[in-house]
Amino acid sequence: MALRVQLLLPLLLLVAAACGGEQGTGKAAQAPQPQPQASAPAMPRSSAPADARLYFAELTDGAIVSNPIQVVFGLDGMTVVPAGTDAPASGHHHLIIDAPLPALDRPIPADANHVHFGTGSTSTTLELAAREHTLQLLLGDHLHIPHEPPVVSEKIRITVE
């Protein structure tokens, strides 16, 4: 009998380890498996003319400015309309401050780094901390989704004194 216990003990320990995953469920313990990233489906994008151009009308790359900062948005080849207005070759401005471009197949986030101008505004006044900042414009359609092709300005660097 002692020999049987010696032979069965390692087997019992192995079975106990395999069944000890979730207490009381009888489910075997498993190492966490990496889950495939379930990406949300891309959203339909409004079309934009290939020659549409978005730009800063007064600020230039490398500008040294002081608060308050007047920012004027320029757009050629499309029409500025308020958010929610679904019209061909139109959209509204989004100002990206100190951040990379967001995903171009999703609605543009609304936070301190992604400022929406859903009323159809074409300018704003900013108060920024005294340091270097990056600014970039991105046009969004009626649902705040970038167009296809995206209508985006060059990223500029400004220094606030």
Q: Convert the pLDDT of each residue in 118-145 to its tens digit.
A: 999 999 999 999 999 999 999 999 999 9
Domain containing residue 130: CATH number: 2.60.40.10
The two three-digit tokens of residue 19, written as one number: 């069944």
pLDDT value at 92 more than 90: yes
38 part of a folded domain: no
Evaluate whether residue 118 is within a structural domain: yes
pLDDT-derived band of residue 65, with 50, 70 and 90 as boundaries? very high
* 22 is a domain residue: no
Residue 88: pLDDT above 80? yes
- Containing domain of residue 86, as a range? 53-160
**Considering the domain boundaries, does residue 42 fall inside one?**
no
Domain assignment present for residue 27? The answer is: no
For 114, list phi and psi in degrees, rounded to 5. -130, 90
How many structural domains is the chain composed of?
Answer: 1
Least confident of 19-28, 58-67, 122-131: 19-28
pLDDT, residue 59, reads 97
Tell me whether residue 69 is in a domain: yes
* Whole-number pLDDT of residue 40: 62
Give the 3-state secondary structure of the chain.
Answer: CHHHHHHHHHHHHHHHHHHCCCCCCCCCCCCCCCCCCCCCCCCCCCECCCCCEEEECCCCCCEEECCCEEEEEEEECCEECCCCCCCCCEEEEEEEECCCCCCCCCCCCCECCEEECCCCCCEEEECCCCCEEEEEEEEECCCCCECECCCECCCEEEEEC
Which residue is it, tokens 């108060």?
127
Please tell me the pTM assigned to this model: 0.75
Is the distance from CB of 52 to CB of 76 less than 8 angstroms? yes
Structure-token pair, residue 70: 């007047």
The answer to whether position 6 is within a domain reads no
Put the strands of the sheet holding 123-126 in their side by side order: 53-56, 69-76, 123-126
Mean of the per-residue pLDDT values of the chain: 82
Top-confidence residue, 149 or 18: 149
* Dist CA 68 CA 71 (whole Å): 10
pLDDT digits (tens, 9 = 90+) for 106-115: 999 999 999 9
